[in-house]
Structure 1
Amino acid sequence: RQHASVQNLRAKIANGDLGKVNLVHGSYLQDWLLYETDFNWRLAPEVGGKSRAVADIGSHWCDTVQFVTGKKIVEVFADLATVIPVRKKAIGSVATFSTQSTEDVEYEDVSINTEDYASVLVRFQDGSRGVFTVSQVSAGRKNRLSFEIDGSKSSAYWNQEEPEKLWMGHRDKPNEILLADPALFAPEARSAIHHPGGHNEGWPDALKNMMLNYYTFIRDGKDPLKDQANFATFEDGHISMAITDAILESHEQQKWVKVQANKEVLV
C-alpha cells in the first residue's frame, strides 16, 4: 500500500483517470521454495497455519488491489496445489532464504500439506472480475507482487520488483511509463514520495511511510473507530483472513464461495 506509485495509482483511479475499472489481474511470485531441499517453518501447518502461499503472499496481493481500486473482494473460486509434496528437511539449522551449500547436509523426508501454488478467480462488490496467481516455486521471481488494472479509458500495471515504474496503457495513443516523481504525482499521493524524480524509492521507503502514517495518526489524536486510517488496520487484516478462509473452502468444495468478513469481531 505504502509504495509511492501505488498511492499515486489509487489517486488516479479515484479521480477517474482509468475510467470504470473492469478487470484486475496479476500475481505474487517467489522462488525461495523452488527446491525440494528448501524448508522453513511456514511449511508446517501446525506452526504456519493450514494455508501457506495464499496466506503468506496472496493476502498481500488481495489487500493491495482492494486498496488501489477501492473495491472489496466478495467471492472467490480457487485452485490450489502442492507442487513439491515431499521435501527434504535438514537435520540441523539452515536459515530462511539461505544460500548455504547443500553438500554434506543430512535430510529427513517431510510430507507437505500446504500449497506452493494457487490461482484464484475473484469477484468484487460492484460485479467487476479479477484473477491472480501466487507461487513460491517460480524461479527468478524474488518478491514479484504485480497487478494490472484494466479500465474503460486506460490500463495500469505495477510490479513491486520495479516499484518506481507505473505502466499506463492506452488504445489511441502510445503507452507510457510513469517514473515516480513528486512533480508528476496526483496531489493526494505526494506525501508518499520523499525524494526528487530519479532518486528511486522502494521497499524500505514503503515501510517508512507505513510507520510515519501510523504514528502521525496517534500523534494527531485520531479515533480508529471514526477516522479513516491511511495504513492497514486490524479490520483490513480480518478481511484478509476472511478471504483466505474463503479460498481454502472454495478449493476444498470446488465452487464459488462468498467472503464472510464480520465487522462485529473487531468491536
Structure 2
Amino acid sequence: MVTGRNEALGRRIRLGMVGGGKDAFIGGVHRIAARMDDRFELVAGALSSTPEKSRESGEALGLARIYDDFRQMAQREARRKDGIEAVSIVTPNHVHYAAAREFLKRGIHVICDKPLTSTLADAKKLVKAAEESDALFILTHNYTGYPMVRHAREMVASGQLGPIRVVQVEYPQDWLSVEQDFKQANWRTDPAQSGVGGSTGDIGTHAFNLACFVTGLRVDSLAADIQAFVPGRQVDDNAHVLLRFDGGARGMLWSSQVAPGNENALRLRVYGEKGGLEWAQEDPNYLWYTPFGEPKRLITRNGAGAGEAAGRVSRVPAGHPEGYLEGFANIYTEAAEAIIAARSGKPVPEAVVYPTVQDGLLGVQFVSACVKSSARNAAWVKLDH
C-alpha cells in the first residue's frame, strides 16, 4: 500500500449518523466502513423515524448523544465545540434531501447513501445546497472504491483501450422475485419512499455510475424498457436500457431484481479500438484485459501489472480477498482525506477520488429518463443535464 491509511493523520473525525438503526442493513455497513481505517469516531445519531426507536438503537451502539430527529441533531451538534464534523445519511431515499440540507447549511460535511434523492426536483435543490455550503458532499457509490475498478479507470484514461466504442453493464439480483414483506423490501418498493425508480434507482444507479466512472464518458440520451413483473408492484423491478454516450460510444444497461440465481451480479465490460476490459463485482480482485488480437490477460489486485490507482486503495497482499466492505471503506477513507484537507484549509489531494453530488444528480436524471422513455414506448430521451 502507498496510501498511509494507518498513519496518524490527526484526531479522528467526529461522525454522526441519520438512519441506520435497528434492522437497517446499510447502517451497519456504513459503520463498519467508517471504522475500518480508524479515521472516524461515531459520537451522535438520529437513528430512526421515531424517538423511541432512535434511542433504543443509539443505546445499543453506545452513542454519547442520541437525538429524536435529524433537525434537532443538526441544530444542537452545530452549537457544540465538540460537535460532529461529518454526518452519514443512511435513510430511505425520500429523506436524503431534507436531512442533507440541514447539515450542509451548518457547514457539516455530508456522506450520503445513494441514490441522491427520491425526486429530480430534490436532486437539483440538493446540488444547489451543496454548492452554497462550505462543507463537502460525498455520495457512497461504493463500487467506485474497489481497487480493480480504479485500475480499469486508470487504463481507460491512459488510452490503453483506445477510443471507447461499446460499454455493457448489468446488475441483476433475485431477492424481489416475489412479493416480500419486511423493512428493506417495503421501502424500496414504495414510490413515496424510493422515488419513481425501483430496480433502476436501487441498483441501476450503481451500474450507471460504474459505467461512467470507469470510462469517463457522459450519457447523452437513453431508450428504456422498464417493467414491474410482480403483480401490484408500483415501481420497476426490471429494466433494459440502451445508452448513447457523448463522443459516439454506445452502451447497454440491465438492472433486475427478479432474476433467479443472481445475488449481486454487477458486471462491467468496456470495449475500445485497441482492447477490452471485463470486471465482475462478485469476483472483484480480478480484472480481465484483452488487447486486440492478443490472448486475454488477468490482472489481480496488488499483483503484477496493477497500477498505482489500485495500490493506494488496497490493504493486503495479492491473493488475500478484498471485497464489498473494503471497497465501501475506501469511500469513507477518501472522504476522510478530503475532510482533513478541508480542516486545514488545504485543497483535496489530487489522488483522492469519490462520487460527488453532481454524480448523484446524474443518477437521478438517469432514473427519471428511464421512466419517461419507457412511458413513451422506449423512445430516446435526453438526460436532463
TM-score, L = length of structure 1: 0.83
Q: Aligned-pair distance for 1:229? A: 5.8
Q: Aligned-pair distance for 1:35? A: 2.4
Map of 1:220 onto structure 2: 341
Among 235, 257, 278, the residue aligned to 1:136: 257
Among 171, 176, 194, the residue aligned to 1:48: 194
Among 140, 147, 156, the residue aligned to 2:268: 147
| 1:28 paired to 2:171 | yes
Q: Aligned-pair distance for 1:228? A: 8.7
Q: How does 1:1-267 map to 2 (within 5 A)?
A: 1-37=144-180, 39-85=185-231, 111-181=232-302, 183-221=304-342, 222=346, 230-254=353-377, 255-261=379-385
Q: How far apart in 2 are the matches of 1:10 and 1:228? A: 13
- Amino acid aligned to 1:132: L
- Amino acid aligned to 2:335: Y
Q: How far apart in 1 are the matches of 2:309 and 2:150? A: 8
Name the SS for the 2:312 alignment partner.
Answer: helix
Following TM superposition, where does structure 1 have runs of at least 4 consecutive aligned residues deviating by more than 4 angstroms? none
CA contact (8 A) 1:30 1:143 kept: yes
Higher helix share: 2
Name the SS for the 1:220 alignment partner.
Answer: helix
Q: How far apart in 2 are the matches of 1:126 and 1:237? A: 22
Q: Aligned-pair distance for 1:37? A: 4.6
- Amino acid aligned to 2:332: M
CA contact (8 A) 2:170 2:253 kept: yes
- Per-residue CA deviation, residues 32-66 of structure 1 (Å, 9 max, x unaligned), is 11224565221111222221000111011111110
Q: How far apart in 2 are the matches of 1:216 and 1:206? A: 16
CA contact (8 A) 1:52 1:116 kept: yes
Q: How far apart in 2 are the matches of 1:50 and 1:11? A: 34
- Per-residue CA deviation, residues 161-214 of structure 1 (Å, 9 max, x unaligned), is 111111122442211222212552222332111211111111111111101100
Name the SS for the 1:61 alignment partner.
Answer: helix
* Larger RCO (CA within 8 A; separation ≥ 6): 1
Q: Aligned-pair distance for 1:2? A: 0.6
- Amino acid aligned to 1:195: V
Q: How far apart in 2 are the matches of 1:167 and 1:215? A: 31
- Amino acid aligned to 1:18: L
- Amino acid aligned to 2:251: G
Q: C-alpha root-mean-square deviation of aligned residues, in Å?
A: 1.9
Map of 2:141 onto structure 1: none
Q: Aligned-pair distance for 1:236? A: 0.9
Q: How far apart in 1 are the matches of 2:365 and 2:169? A: 20
Q: How far apart in 1 are the matches of 2:234 and 2:246? A: 32
Map of 1:93 onto structure 2: none
- Amino acid aligned to 2:357: F
CA contact (8 A) 1:182 1:190 kept: no
Identity %: 31
Pair 1:223–1:247, CA change in 2 (3 A)? farther
Name the SS for the 1:169 alignment partner.
Answer: strand
Name the SS for the 1:242 alignment partner.
Answer: helix
- Amino acid aligned to 1:76: L
TM-score, L = length of structure 2: 0.58
CA contact (8 A) 2:194 2:201 kept: no
Name the SS for the 1:163 alignment partner.
Answer: coil
Q: Aligned-pair distance for 1:243? A: 1.3
Gaps of 5+ in 1: 86-110, 262-267
CA contact (8 A) 2:341 2:347 kept: no
Pair 1:4–1:246, CA change in 2 (3 A)? same
CA contact (8 A) 1:3 1:206 kept: yes
Q: How far apart in 2 are the matches of 1:121 and 1:37? A: 29
